[in-house]
Chains A and B, each alone.
Chain A
């Protein structure tokens, strides 16, 4: 007998351990679900962690109102299949209530407004732990995240004062009103996620696979054309064969030229690409530390 498991099974075991730790240590956890591949992976792992029981926490989707229609369809089907509970937090509602003000101009995005809607939804549901599919390889501020990441009563992250994490001992103790963000797939890379999704044959939204759609170019990034984005006169719309490497709000998620129509072809593409997956995210490019700044305020 060879007592050895491959790196994907080891990552899987680690993530399952973290999810069970959350179910044990917290009263009222919730899983943040965006419809992207990382949150699909999270749901898949949560299903395995508690099988044959149901996932012991609801899914929370913060809907910017600017989603790709494909995302919403996929979300609803997944929830139906697993018999999970879905809660939707709405950015449109937060705008209508006056909690937040919509950005104006051609680079207007609701990405930043998600924070307010997220914090509102977390407060309303009295959630003491929010599981998210962020990974440390995505972005340099996320590289500093803990598995169990403490948030104060304002939902803020204090990166200089984080709890040390050793061995597999995770301290989720908190005062009333504070909560934790928990990132069970911290140690996965983009390639790991794809290799695992391929190995497990997990169904994915069509947006990840190459398809032809109307796009336009802005500052070297291709964006999908939609009514949610104001275009300059010089920005011409044309058809292109593209796919999404990440899925977020339509206003800030770039698409990439691609011919990859299967998961295997995507893995090939990623193995040879020279740009990170968030390279197409205009929300990260607002400043050198824009992710850290947003995270401190409570962004996920």
Chain B
């Protein structure tokens, strides 16, 4: 096996936007230039476009559902894949309109990078702000702003700078640390994969170079040990008679054989006896590995419990405050309403104690007089759970800081929350 396979990392990024801002063209170009579109897929798109009397429409590659193809819009999150020798990429391609905020939030929840597209002619519009605000709320670690259609503004450095300044002014209010600006033309290919001859004033990376090299190794939390127990492995056979392994995925920190650990909720102390990975015993485990941990002592520990470091504990509380994005099209979040809540591997019930405010996702304005959170709205609410959660602030850890709310009648996922 060659080295570049064994060293290649996985990067997830999200895009959002409408038909006109060139998003599909850009994705089409990334896929096409990395040779990830196959001939038969391309032929099928050509045939389907002809049937509709259109020029070749690359959006038909990602818009796979009948209703999306009929209406010419992206309704759902579409996942696309491409890879280069350095990295494998997963694109979560989401629609950009207000009525699809929930899809944008979904796509953003696992992304390392948010790709924000701006039409150089129009500059920053409502949709740009919304996408940036959602990226910041969902704590996507890196933001890359592509100022597109540079060919239509004569590759003007002045125009590029103007938009960059405007964006930076607005982004100062947001919680984003790493922002990058790139002048591109998705249609002509400028600075997408190849360096443009038309933007000699720009000495930054191309989009592809950026995606291949942005530092994502520290996107996980490697400081605070959090191991939510997912499943208990008990083989009950002669060879492994007393085996009791706690299976789960590392949610934070690094853990070694011999480490002192504390078990939650019991508060008992123990030591890591063994760590089993997919390839057998390993000495250390860290996110995002799935492992099985064996402890030196025989305590009662089951799904929903957590292994942490003795001197570094999460919040242990039945009261949490979250920023919630509401998904339910039947009814708004109900004050005093009861929901099921999923947090790491734990499921409990909760009651909505208070809706503090609704957030205007175009302006960041907090409307404290408005406590109706409808589908696609984002707001701050206070919850009380039936049993304590072991949580961290979402800013500190996206895994131990996130929850979903489930309607007890329909079983649908009706809300996604980020713990404050």
Contact = CB atoms under 8 A, between A and B. Distances in A.
Interface of A: 1-14, 16-17, 20-21, 23-24, 48-54, 136-137, 139-144, 159-160, 162-169, 171, 173-175, 186-187, 189, 191-192, 195, 198-199, 273-276, 279, 288-289, 292
Contact of B278 (A13, A53, A168): A13
B412 interface: yes
Interface in B1-45: 1, 5-10, 38-41, 44
Contacts of A2: 217
B109 to A, nearest CB: 4
A10 B8 contact: no
Interface stretch (B77-85, B156-164, B185-193, B199-207): B77-85
Contacts of A186: 79
Contacts of A276: 38, 40-41
Interface string B56-68: 0000011111110
Contact of A13 (B222, B288, B343, B412): B288
B98 interface: no
Contacts of B7: 6
Contacts of B413: 163-165, 171
Q: Is the interface of B mostly helix, strand, loop or mixed?
A: mixed
Contacts of B67: 160
Interface residues of B, number: 79
B402 A21 contact: no
Contacts of B254: 1, 3
Contact of B290 (A17, A54, A140, A275): A17
Contacts of A143: 62, 64, 78-80
A166 B220 CA distance: 16
Interface in B249-266: 249, 254
A169 B76 contact: no
A167 B243 contact: no
A125 B296 CA distance: 40
Contacts of A144: 64-65, 76-78
19 contacts: A4-B217, A13-B289, A14-B290, A49-B247, A51-B276, A52-B239, A52-B240, A52-B243, A53-B240, A137-B81, A144-B78, A160-B67, A164-B103, A164-B327, A166-B404, A171-B404, A187-B81, A198-B1, A289-B65
A7 B412 contact: no
Contact of B230 (A17, A163, A199, A279): A17
Given A275-B38, A276-B38, A292 B1 contact: no
Contacts of B69: 288-289
B140 interface: no
Interface in B79-116: 79-81, 83, 87-88, 90, 102-103, 105-106, 109-110
B40 A140 contact: no
Given A169-B404, A288-B69, 4 more contacts: A1-B254, A20-B231, A53-B233, A160-B75
A141 B63 CA distance: 9
Contacts of B240: 52-53
Given A144-B78, A166-B416, A160 B65 contact: yes
B289 A5 contact: yes
Given A6-B7, A16-B290, A159-B76, A274 B39 contact: yes
Contacts of A6: 5-10
B411 A174 contact: yes
Contacts of A164: 102-103, 105-106, 327, 413, 416
Nearest to A279: B40
B278 A12 contact: yes
A195 B1 contact: yes
Nearest to B89: A7
B399 to A, nearest CB: 6
A142 B65 CA distance: 9
Nearest to B80: A143
Interface string B383-420: 00000000000000011001110100001110010000
Interface in B201-219: 217
B242 to A, nearest CB: 12
B10 A11 contact: yes
Contact of A275 (B39, B249, B340): B39
A40 B53 CA distance: 43
